[in-house]
Amino acid sequence: MNCQTQSAQSLQILHLSRCLVFAVTLIFTSARAEDVANNTVSVQLKSRQKLFNAGKNRVWQTIILANHLTQYDLNIGSEVNEEGKLINTFVGIANPQQSWWCNGFMTMKVDDADVGQFPCRISIVEQGQQGCLEFLYQRPEGDLRCRFLLYPEDEMLYVEWACDGKNTEAKHLEVICVPAVANMLTGQTAKDLGTRRAAQTSAQTFVEKKDEAEAKANPAKGNPEKENWALLLDQVWDLADASKRAAPLRNGVTGPAGVVFHPVAQMGLRYEIDPVYVRTHATYPAEANLVRLALCEFRKLENKAGYQTLKEKVPAVMERMARLTSTPREMTEATSNSLQRLADSVLKPAGEQKGKTSSELQLRLQRFLDAKTKWDQERTFAPLAAERALRAAYDQFYFEAERLGRPARKTGTILVVKGLNNLLYKIDAVRMKYPRLMQEVKNAYVRKDANYGFYVDYFPSSRKEIMRFDAIVLANADVEALQEEGLELLLPYLENGGGLVVLGGYHSYGLSSVYETRLGSVLPVKGERFDLQPLGTAETAGKKPSSSSGLAGPQGAPLQPMGKDSPFIENLKWEQKPMCYWQHFVKPSKNAQVHISAGAQSFLITGQYGKGRIGAFTGTVLGLPAREGTPFWEWESWPELLGRVLAWAADKPAK
C-alpha cells in the first residue's frame, strides 16, 4: 500500500516502512542554498508532521541547513511517548532532491544500547556565522548530544557527538551512506544495481590503505590514521548520457557521497559494502567524549572527479575537525575587551558607571570570563557541563546588559503573536498612536490544524533573537503554538527584563494550555480551565452566572478605574462607558496590581517576573453591544490604554 499524506501543500515522497493511517504536514518558510547570502548559514524548520502509525503517535520534521554552496535537508522521525517527549528518534538526509536515504542514516550505540530510544530534545543552536542543529538524548546515565554543523564556505556537513567524562561506556557509531538507492534506471532492481555498485566500488580505491599488500590480506581492517575517509561510488554516475544518471525525481542532481572520520586513540574503523548499503563502523573507547565526522555529497560529478575532489578536501576537513567546537561563537569569540565595550555602551547613557548597577554588571562580566577559562580547560572531557556553565554565565551578563541598554533606545521593537479575532483589538491603531513605541513590529500568526494543534509561523529561536524585542504581545494566542522551545526562551526573557502583554479570548487563559505550563505560574493572574464567563446582572451581584446565557445574552459590565496611583487610567474617556460582556474569571496573583475592573471582576492586572513586566487584559472581544455603553474594543480610549500598558511592559516612554 502506498503511503499517503494529508496536507494543503504537496509533499516530498516519504520512505516509510509501514502505511500511515494519517499524516498532517505544516509547511514553514525555508531558505534554499541559492537564497543564502555569502558568509552566512541558515537553519530553518521546513515542515513538521504529526503521524499516527501502527498504533503510535509520531512526529516527522524536516530542518534545513544551507549556505550559498549547498543545502542539507535533515529528515527527523520520532515516536511520541506518554509524556509528550520524542523517543526513538532517527535522522536521515534528503539533499535536497531526496538523493540521500530519508530514513535513519546514523546510529550511535553506547554499551550496545541505541541512544535513539531515549527522550530527545531538538533545537537550533545557532545560525549566521555558522549553522548548528542539536539533538540532546536524555539518558539515565547522562545526556548524550549530537550536533550538525555547517560553515559558510564549506560543502561538508560536520557531526559532533559529545558526552561528559567519568563514564565507562564504549561507543559504536554506524553511518549508512546510500545516496543512490532510489537512482535505479527503468527495468533495474535494487539487487541488480547494488551488484554493479559493489563491483564498481571494489574496483576503485575505496579507502586509502597504508600498504596495498595489507589491504589485500585484510581488507576489513581499518587504520584510523590512514583509512579515515571513504567515498561511495556507483556506475550510474559514469554513464555518458546524463539523462540516465538518475531517476526523473532527482533531475540528475546527485553524485558520489563520502564520509571523513576524525581519528582518536584506540578507535576502531571498518567499512562494509553490500549490494545496497555502504556502512562505516566506528568504535570508540569509554574515555572518548567527543566523536567527530564529516559528510558530503558531490552533485553532478562522476566517480573519478568525486573521488579526487574528496581526496583534495580531506586535509582541510581534518584540520577543521581537529579544532572544531560546536559551542556558539557569540560565547567562544567574546573577549574581555569586546564585552567591556558592550558594558560601557549601556552604562554611559544611563549615567550609572559608578553605581550599584555598574558593579553588578562588572561582576557578571568577570563571572563569564572565569567560566570561559574553565570551559576551555574542560570542554574535551566534560563538554556538556562546561558549555552549560558557560551559557549560564553568558546569559546572566548579556541579559543584564540588554536590559540596561533598552532605556537608551528611544524607539521600540515589538513582537505581536496574533490569534483569533486579533483585528478587533486594534493593535494597528495603537501603532498609529504610538509610532515610536512600535517603530518596528514583527507580526506572527497562529495557525491551527485539526490533528496537529496550534503552531505559529514565527517565533525567536535563540536567546539573542528574542532579546531584541522590547515586548511581546499574545493576542488571543494559545501558548501551545509557541511549542516547548518557544516557552523555554520566553521565561528567561521575562526574568531578565522582557515585557509581555496578554489579551483574552477563545484561545487565552483558561481556554488555552497556559496553566499547564511554567508561563502560567508567572502570570499576574490565577485561573482554571474553561474560565470564560458572561458578565451581567448576576455577576455584578456577586453571583456566578450560567454559561447558558449565550453570546447575545450578557448585559455586560462597565469598566471602572481602580485606585489613583495607576499610570494607565488618567485622562481616558470614561464617560463613554466602555463595556465588557465576556470575561475570563481569574484572581490576581500575590503582589499583582489591579488597575481596572469590569463589575466585580478584574479587567487589567499587572505584575512582574524577575525584572520583566507582564500586563494581563482578561476581557474579550466577544458579545453584542447592550443598549447603553460602548464595547471596550470600540471605545475611543482603548488604543491609548493598550499603548500605555505596552509601553510600561516594554519599559519605554509611550510617546
Model pLDDT for residues 213-267, shown as the tens digit of each residue: 444 444 444 444 456 787 776 666 666 665 555 443 344 455 667 788 898 878 8
Beta strands in 81-152 (DSSP E): 86-94, 106-110, 113-114, 120-126, 131-137, 144-150
Half-sphere exposure of 14 (CA within 13 A, CB side): 28
Distance CA 151, CA 313 (A): 14
Q: For the purposes of burial, counting CB atoms within 10 Å of the CB of 633, is it exposed (0-12), middle (13-18) or buried (19 or more)? A: buried
Distance CA 100, CA 348 (A): 54
pLDDT of residue 32: 58
pLDDT of residue 9: 25
Distance CA 87, CA 593 (A): 43
Give the C-alpha distances (Å, rounded to integers) separating 519 from 152, 532, 646. Answer: 37, 19, 19
**Biggest distance spanned by C-alpha atoms of the chain:** 99
Strand pairing class (229-232; 257-261): antiparallel
Contact 539, 545 (CB under 8 A): yes
pLDDT of residue 368: 95
Contact 467, 398 (CB under 8 A): yes
Provide the 3-class DSSP secondary structure of residue 447. Answer: strand
**Residues in the chain, pLDDT under 50:** 1-30, 97-102, 179-225, 246-252, 352-354, 538-552
Distance CA 283, CA 301 (A): 31
Distance CA 429, CA 423 (A): 10
pLDDT of residue 407: 73
**Nearest 5°: phi and psi at 353?**
-60, -30
Nearest to 100 by CA among 299, 240, 270: 299
Distance CA 425, CA 649 (A): 17
Contact 131, 42 (CB under 8 A): yes
All structural domains of the chain, each given as residue ranges with its CATH number in brackets, are 155-323 (no CATH), 329-405 (no CATH), 413-650 (3.40.50.880)
Q: What cell numbers appear for 174 in the block?
A: 554506524
Residue 588: strand pairing partners: 525
Give the Cβ contact number of residue 447 at 10 Å.
Answer: 13
Rg value, the chain, Cα: 29
Distance CA 92, CA 182 (A): 14
pLDDT of residue 199: 29
pLDDT per residue as tens digits for the range 348-373: 755 544 455 678 889 999 999 999 99
Q: What cell numbers appear for 447 in the block?
A: 495557525
| N-to-C CA span, the chain | 63
Q: Which residues are CB-contacts of 187 (< 8 A; sequence separation ≥ 6)?
A: none
Q: What cell numbers appear for 152 in the block?
A: 559558510
Provide the 3-class DSSP secondary structure of residue 464. Answer: helix
DSSP secondary structure of 322-391: HH---S-HHHHT--HHHHHHHHHHHHHHHT-TTSHHHHHHHHHHHHHHHHHHHHHHHTTTSHHHHHHHHH
Distance CA 305, CA 241 (A): 17
